[in-house]
Homo-oligomer: A and B are copies of this chain.
Amino acid sequence: MIALHDAVGRLSAALGGSPAAKLAASALVEADALGLPRFGIAMLDEWAADAAPVPETAGAQAVSWLDCSSCFAPLAVAGTTLDLAGTARQSGIAAVFLRGVRGFGRLVPFVRHLADTGLVGIAGAEGPPFVAPHGGTRPVIGTNPFALAMGRGSERVVIDIASSSATMADIKTARMTDAPLPDGIALDGAGRPTRVAADVAALLPRGGQIGSLLGLTVELLAGVAGAGRGDAKGRGVFILAFDPAAAGEGIDWQGKLAALKSDWTDGGGYWPRGGALAAGTMLDGDFAQRLDTHLARMAGQAGC
Q: Which residues from chain A sit less than 8 Å from chain B, CB to CB? A: 61-63, 65, 91-95, 97, 120, 129, 132-141, 148, 150, 157, 159, 161, 163, 191, 206-214, 216-217, 219-221, 223-225, 227, 229-230, 240, 242-244, 246-248, 251-253, 256-257, 259-260, 263-264, 266-270, 272
| Distance in angstroms between the alpha carbons of A186 and B112 in the assembled complex | 33
Top 9 A-B residue pairs of the complex, sorted by shortest distance between their CB atoms: A207-B207, A133-B269, A136-B268, A63-B92, A138-B267, A140-B267, A207-B210, A137-B268, A136-B269
Q: Are the CB atoms of A139 and B225 closer together than 8 Å?
A: no
Contact of A259 with B243 in the complex, beta carbons under 8 Å? no
- In the complex, what distance in Å separates the CA atom of A157 from the CA atom of B141? 16
Residues of A contacting B: mostly: mixed
* Residues of B close to A223: CB separation below 8 A: 256, 260
Residues of chain B within 8 A of A211, CB atoms compared:
207, 210
A91 cross-chain contacts in B, Cβ below 8 A:
62-63, 91
Q: Which residues of chain B come closer than 8 Å to A253, judged between CB atoms?
A: 224-225, 227
Chain B min CB distance to A188 (Å): 14
Docked pose: A240 CA to B227 CA in angstroms? 19
The distance from the CB of A231 to the nearest CB of chain B, in whole angstroms, is 10
Q: Give Cα A242–Cα B93 distance, bound, in whole angstroms.
A: 11
Are A159 and B216 also in contact (CB < 8 A) when A225-B253, A247-B97 are? yes
The smallest C-beta distance from A224 to any residue of chain B, in angstroms, reads 4
Contact (A242, B63) CB under 8 Å given A209-B207, A253-B227, A267-B140: yes
